[in-house]
Amino acid sequence: MADDLPADLQALDDELTAAARDAEALTAGLPEALGARRPDEGGWSVAECLDHLATANRVYLAAMQAPAERARARGRRRRGPARPGWAGRLFIATLEPPARLWLKRRAPRIIRPRGAPALADAFASFMASQADVRAFLRAHADLDLARLRFPNPFVRGIRFSLATGLHVITAHDRRHLWQAWRVRRAVEGRRASMPGRA
């Protein structure tokens, strides 16, 4: 396990930390009922956004783990920064917030949130998934992440580098945390506008 990460990997680690802190701020003081409430215009609740992220992180990591272990067995050590190629960068750009309506697509079935997850459980699951991503990053920091490929778990025939996979995870986190903040503001605004509510 790496203690002192190269700058490019430290930047990814910092992005994971930022997402975890954002999730903590997002859920701080949010009542369970509001965390489970969907906005009037439809879409996921705050809890569902977090549950989706936790599931997506686990699915991505599962697809990345075996290629990383094979690369370690073959001595595929780091030769340069863990940067995505041009195709990976284009895909990652589509994930960054704010979500663009013309780029929105339905989440694959295997990473859709559970039905009505509890906010506390969804938050804990997301934080655990962040810890797993960080552990993967640190355990494999010495591998050639930019040149090692894994099969995209959602699109058959597409292969990404492990570096791209890690950047996809952090961009996807930002996208759905941004979404969850919009949902929180919407449901809190709706509660405040109800008669008898402050």
Q: What is the pLDDT of residues 99-146, one digit of tens each?
A: 765 456 678 788 888 888 999 999 999 999 999 999 999 999 999 999
Q: Which domains does the chain have, with CATH numbers?
A: 7-190 (1.20.120.450)
173-195: burial string, b at 16+ Cβ within 10 Å, e else: bbbbbbbbbbbbebbeeeeeeee
- pTM for this one? 0.90
